[in-house]
Amino acid sequence: MSDLSKTPSFLDYAPAPESTSILHLKKSYGLFIDGEFVKGHGAPFLTISPSSEQKIAEIANANSRDVDVAVAAARKAYDRTWSRMSGADRGKYLFRIARLVQERARELAVAESLDNGKPIKESRDVDVPLVAAWFFYYAGWADKLDYAGLGPNPKALGVAAQVIPWNFPLLMLAWKVAPALAAGNTVVIKPAETTSLSAMIFAEILQQADLPAGVVNIITGAGDTGEALVNHPDVNKVAFTGSTAVGRAIAKSTAGSGKKLTLELGGKAANIVFDDAPIDQAIEGIVNGIFFNQGHVCCAGSRLLVQENVHDEVVDRLKSRLGTLRLGDPLDKNTDIGAINSREQLDRVRELSDIGEAEGAVRWSAPCVIPDKGFWFAPTIFTNVSTSSRIARDEIFGPVLAVLTFRTPGEAIAKANNTPYGLSAGIWSDKGSKILAVADKLRAGVIWANTFNRFDPASPFGGYKESGFGREGGRHGLAAYLESAGWGSGK
Amino acid sequence: MTRLTVPKTYKLYIGGKFPRSESGRTYEVVSKKGVFLANVALASRKDARDAVVAARGAQPGWSAATAYNRGQVLYRIAELLEGRREQFVEELIATEGASKAVAAKQVDTAIDAWVWYAGWADKYVQVAGNGNPVSGPYFNLSTPEPTGVVAIVAPQASSSLLGLVSVIAPAILSGNTVVVIANHAAPLAAVSLAEVLATSDVPGGVVNILTGSPSEIAPWLAGHADVNAIDLAGAEALDWVDLMVTAADTLKRVLPPEAGVPAPSLERIVALTETKTVWHTKSLI
Amino acid sequence: MNALPGINVVTSGRAIVSTALAPAERALGVLGGDLTERSLRLHLEGLPGVDAVGLEERAAALGTRSIKTTSKAWALNTIIRLIDLTTLEGADTPGKVSSLVAKALTPDPNDASVPRVAAVCVYGDMVPAAVTALGAAHGDPDAGLVSVAAVATAFPSGRASLRVKLADTEDAVAAGADEIDMVIDRGAFLAGNYGLVFDQIVAVKDSCRRADGTFAHLKVILETGELNTYDNVRKASWLSILAGGDFIKTSTGKVTPAATLPVTLLMLEVVRDWYRLTGERIGVKPAGGIRTSKDAIKYLVTVAETVGEHWLQPHLFRFGASSLLNDVLLQRQKLTTGRYSGPDYVTVD
């Protein structure tokens, strides 16, 4: 952002607000169970806009009794309707949902930005189109499960319990619901506490699609709602995206229960920039890797591993590039960096950044003007970071980049792999043989070469090691929701 | 007084447009009861030639579209077919002498078959392609690609709409473009299908439909050097062995005749693709 | 590809001979005293590669900026100020040029607040007509006057002897052209004769010298559509700057693709890097295919966010365009009147 004390600057673009008049928000939302909105029996809570701290709506809170009702609805729908329906018909429902998402795309994007804090540019151009694409893609699998690679006529698991995070609320919902339904399961899904709004509008879409009651149930609430859900005895499958700490707890509590489990957890991805990288695109890739979605991305390129002989040049160019990033109102179409999702998350990012400074790393932040209200953190780079620094090891989940160096490809690989996480990695080089050999050796489930943060419903996504297990997207994404022939199918 | 109708003119569908045959010829289509229905264009070899040119012209763009995009386009066609359901039912009743129930079932089956194929556009590569674990420091990937321009003899017995859908959809979802010889006795559904295509997002030239005589036109397509494959699904009543011999001159990929309407099949999609295998060295130093 | 010093590298059956290139200040500064075909080639081939997918995505992202209200008003006026209003047809006549000049001076006869364009761009033999038509308004755009830019060097193909190309240039300069838009020898470039391309630019720059020792400004047209790859565009951009160009220009407008946002972004990145290296500012001119205000605004955004707003001035950025001006006027009319305008409310020049 340019200095406001100078004469009016073109780069101070005039406000370009996306109107919220497209929304028809309710004052309060209920739980979506068995095709209807019903009252929750826990204490309702407010969802606020993290950019203004203003209240948006009241959200229902599902207690364990509500969880029972939701699971029972899913079970009934599975037994009586969904498991008896042809794959072709399940597919038609999913096609309808995809189309309705496309029709209400703008509304969903505005709601998402308002509730989550992410720039409208991202929810409009990335999140919501991917949501529609995910439903389109899996719609086509519903009647082709014989070809999934799991044997002829693979069976659904039954009722799936799904808990999703706040960073891509509607997209994470699509990643969970679409394959589950395509494979023939019914679903009880719990959105994150701070970001339930888009899920509530999605529930309206399910009604417009005339989806049979109980096939998808959306129960809002906090951590205890999620816990009750994943531990419910009548659930056949658990899918969780969120922190590694909670993932561990779920793995422990579902051990021996016979429930199939997939987890998509945290990451501390290395973005490796070689001296023969296409330099301007590498800078964009670094920026995209850690500052897209305010760094609230499990697969964020939060460690820059730059070849030592180009370190200074890369850091220099990176800082120049950050000078045109615009931080501010998520609903302004020119905003690049939105609000941090919650006060809690902001505190965590600040805390870890302070630790980074205390450990001796050199801190530099983009010169952004921070608004008075709301939760904000300027894009920040740490140089002089060592591999043992907390900021090189811990997932910060914010717009904070740790910069480290390497001398040889082998050393880059060793440093990149030297983490309990293993979700993603980036490789920047103009040399194909090197890219492919490095990719071979990186222990990460998603590897981006000369690009970053690319998602597609046809492309499997998931981690190694403590970043979780199982894959979402692609043909591989069906495996989580079907019985595998021959093993692991019984209780 | 009953209202006077405005009868439709039935023309060829080439390059996204509806020309009459360059030969000026037509043939009479009558209902099963012998009532005059329409003068339908009788395609000539030059029309077939023009259709191949249109198909070839459209092929690079269509195959360059993303698989997601092609799937969306195909799904939209299904939406349009659904919207025109009554019209198709009427035409099948008239041309095939089917009862309303039978005609409706055919139309519904055709729409559902189209939806089934639409869903394959962004998936068949994942099933028919794969990485290969070769011995050596090489990345190795096999991927099916569309073969190019496909000539098709649509099923000639009953089920004119379903037959047409069953041969067109599997060919184009992967990025091929097609020249189709419609059902000779019951060509109206083909032209109505062409109208649906013309109002959909499918680019002109991706599907070209010739109404006329399969025995006259098929040999020209079988011998045409700029056609990559020929699907003889509906050629059972023709000298199809001769057609295969002609096709062999340019080593076309050939799909043999089928009795009745081809069932939905992944094999049909893959048979009209070429598998490309790419090797790339891998080295850290 | 990366040859060791003292070893001739053989490509396409010809050895790269160590011929000394014509002296060019910038090149001497960057490459050192050993200014040869080989040293130039090594430098160009050592430049970082361009990932086309990433470049095009960055350009598309810049194109999503939403420029409204006051920003839009400023942008529209700025676009006008940066236009080289162009006519380059075989059928050009003094009458046509005169009409173009009238439009350049008074784009909208009903609105005196509309600024003037930066220059008119014509074939070399039409320069006298342009100069005559401009009269007292002929001069520096920074002073509110309008320059005359002439295409030269056997524009657009460049396929003629150096003697002819230099004569073309000299004639235009003598007739009063302030700026020369030359074309590089794309054939020589694609054949790897970087030294030849370089020498021609140096020679043309020399032909831009006037009797009083001042120089006409030299814009070097790369014809990016024929260079085809972004890597080639990067190399040609550096080469043109090293050889003395004041501006690098995308296209003649006679070949498709002409200017595109990604290729212009790439050239701006080279100009930015040149500035980082030397502190010197080079201009950029996208030409051909920019017809709408919407598109032109994307270019302004791209300039501002790549090299900085300082470049949004006539001596550092131009649009080579003809129909763009009318679209900008229509947009201006909408901003002032609040309603959509139409072709009857702008003039045909």
DSSP state of C346: S
State how far the Cα of C34 lies from the Cα of C27, in Å rounded to an integer.
10
Over residues A341-369, the mean pLDDT reads 96
pLDDT cut 70: percent of chain A above it: 97
pLDDT tens digits, one per residue of A219-266 = 999 999 999 999 999 999 999 999 999 999 999 999 999 999 999 999
**Other residues' Cβ atoms within 10 Å of the Cβ of residue C281:** 17
Q: Which residue of A has its CA nearest to B266?
A: A147
- Those residues with Cβ within 8 angstroms of residue A31's Cβ, 6 or more apart along the chain or in another chain: A37, A38, A39, A40, A60, A62, A66, A70, A217, A218, A219, A220
Query: Does position A197 have pLDDT exceeding 50, yes or no?
Result: yes
- Look up residue A286 and give its amino acid: I
Q: Do A284 and C58 touch (CB under 8 A)?
A: yes
Statement to judge: residues A197 and A309 lie in one domain: no
pLDDT value at residue A237: 98
Give the tens place of pLDDT for each residue, B18-40: 999 999 999 999 988 889 999 99
Provide the pLDDT for residue C107.
97
Q: How many residues does chain B have?
A: 285
Q: Classify residue A23: in a domain, yes or no.
A: no
Tens of pLDDT, residue by residue over C45-100, are 999 999 999 999 999 999 999 999 999 999 999 999 999 999 999 999 999 999 99
* Residue C10 pLDDT class (50, 70, 90 cuts): very low
B15, pLDDT greater than 80: yes
pTM above 0.90, yes or no: yes
Q: Are residues A298 and A444 in the same domain?
A: yes
pLDDT value at B57 more than 50: yes
The closest alpha carbon to C31, from C17, C15, C47, belongs to C47
A438 touches chain B (CB under 8 A): yes
Structure-block tokens of residue A282: 């590498």
Q: Which residue has the higher pLDDT, B5 or A67?
A: A67
Q: Which two tokens stand for residue C172?
A: 């235009």
Q: Are A318 and A201 contained in the same domain? A: no
Does one domain contain both A443 and A423? yes
Out of C57, C68, C71, the one facing A10 most closely (by C-beta) is C71
Average pLDDT of chain B, as a whole number: 96
What's chain C's average pLDDT? 93
H/E element holding A45?
Answer: strand A45-48
CB contact (8 A) between residue A433 and residue B285: no
Q: Which residues, at least 6 apart from C28, have a Cβ–Cβ distance to it below 8 Å?
A: C35
Residue A99 clears pLDDT 80, i.e. is over it: yes
CA distance B133 to A440: 12
Alpha-carbon gap, residue C123 to A58, rounded angstroms: 69
- A128-167 residues labelled b (16+ CB within 10 A) or e (exposed): bbbbbbbbbbbbbbbbbbebbebeeebbbbbbbbbbbbbb
Number of domains in chain A: 2
Inform me whether the C-beta atom of residue A363 falls under 8 Å from chain B C-beta atoms.
no
Angstrom distance (rounded) from CA A21 to CA A106: 11
Give the span between the Cα atoms of C302 and C346, in whole angstroms: 28
Pairing of strands A424-428, A400-406: unpaired
- Distance of alpha carbon A70 from its chain centroid, rounded? 24
CA C301, C306, C307, C309 torsion: positive or negative?
positive
CATH 3.40.605.10 describes domain B26-281? yes
Verify whether the Cβ–Cβ distance A10 to C300 is below 8 Å. Answer: yes
Q: Which of A10, A278, A334 sits opposite C54 (nearest CB)?
A: A278
Give the CATH number of the domain where residue A117 resides.
3.40.605.10
Q: Judge if A260 and A314 occupy the same domain.
A: no
Q: Are residues A83 and A169 in the same domain?
A: yes
The minimal CB distance from A125 to the residues C64, C69, C71 is found for C64
Mean pLDDT value of segment A300-319:
97
Residue A21 resides in a domain = no
Backbone angles phi, psi at C217, to 5 degrees: -75, 140
Neighbours of chain C (3+ CB pairs under 8 A): A
Q: Is C265 exposed, middle or buried (0-12, 13-18, 19+ CB in 10 A)?
A: buried
Residue at A1 is within a domain: no
Catalytic sites of C, residue numbers: 181, 249, 285
Query: B112-130, pLDDT tens digit by residue?
Result: 999 999 999 999 999 999 9
CA A105/CA A120 separation, integer angstroms: 12
Average pLDDT of the residues in B160-178: 97
Average pLDDT over residues A195-211: 98
Chain C nearest-CA residue for A281: C54
**Is A249 among the domain residues?**
yes
The domain segmentation of chain B, as residue ranges, is 26-281
- Taking CB atoms and an 8 Å limit, are A147 and B75 in contact across chains? no
Supply the pLDDT for residue C329: 97
Backbone phi, psi, residue B61, to 5°: -65, -40
Check residue A2 and give its pLDDT. Answer: 42
pLDDT at A487: 57
Distance in Å, alpha carbon of B284 to nearest chain A alpha carbon = 5
Range of the domain at A281: 270-456
Return the closest-CA partner of residue B103 out of B82, B87, B83, B81: B87
Same domain, A141 and A240: yes
pLDDT tens for A365-424 read 999 999 999 999 999 999 999 999 999 999 999 999 999 999 999 999 999 999 999 999
Query: Does the structure show a pLDDT above 70 at C17?
Result: no
- Label residue C15 by pLDDT band (50, 70, 90): very low
CA separation, residue B128 to residues B124, B131, B256, B270 (Å): 6, 11, 21, 7
Q: What is the pLDDT of residue C207?
A: 96
Same domain, A249 and A277: no
Q: Does A95 touch chain B (CB under 8 A)?
A: yes
Same domain as A451, residue A336 = yes
**What distance in Å separates residue A432's CA from the closest CA in chain B?**
8
Establish if A282 belongs to a structural domain. Answer: yes
Q: Do B122 and A441 touch (CB under 8 A)?
A: no
Strand partners, A448: A426
Asked if residues A273 and A282 have their Cβ atoms less than 8 Å apart, the reply is: yes
Residues A234 and A283 in one domain: no
Residue A488 lies inside a defined structural domain of this protein: no
User: pLDDT tens across A19-76, in order?
Assistant: 999 999 999 999 999 999 999 999 999 999 999 999 999 999 999 999 999 999 999 9
Contact A143 B119 (CB under 8 A): yes
Q: Please answer yes or no on whether A474 and B126 come within 8 Å at the CB atom.
A: yes
- Is the domain of A39 the same as that of A138? yes
pLDDT tens-place string over residues C65-76? 999 999 999 999
Residues of chain A positioned with their CB less than 8 A from the CB of C71: 10, 12-14
Residue A172, domain member (yes or no): yes
Q: Does the pLDDT at position B226 exceed 80? A: yes
Set out the domains of chain C in order of their start, with CATH numbers: 65-345 (3.20.20.70)
What pLDDT, on a 0 to 100 scale, did the predictor assign at position B33?
A: 86
Could you tell me if residue A329 is inside a domain?
yes
3-state secondary structure of A18: coil
The chains in contact with chain A, meaning 3 or more Cβ pairs closer than 8 Å, are: B, C
How far is C186 from C197, CA to CA, in rounded Å? Answer: 8
Q: How confident is the model at residue C20 (pLDDT cuts 50, 70, 90)?
A: low
DSSP classification of residue A296: -
| Same-domain status, A256 and A312 | no
Secondary element (H or E) of residue C122: strand C119-123
pLDDT band for position B7 (cuts 50, 70, 90)? confident
Best CA proximity match to A164, nearest among A277, A251, A267, A246: A246
Q: Could you give the CA distance from residue C200 to residue C204 in angstroms, rounded to a whole number? A: 6
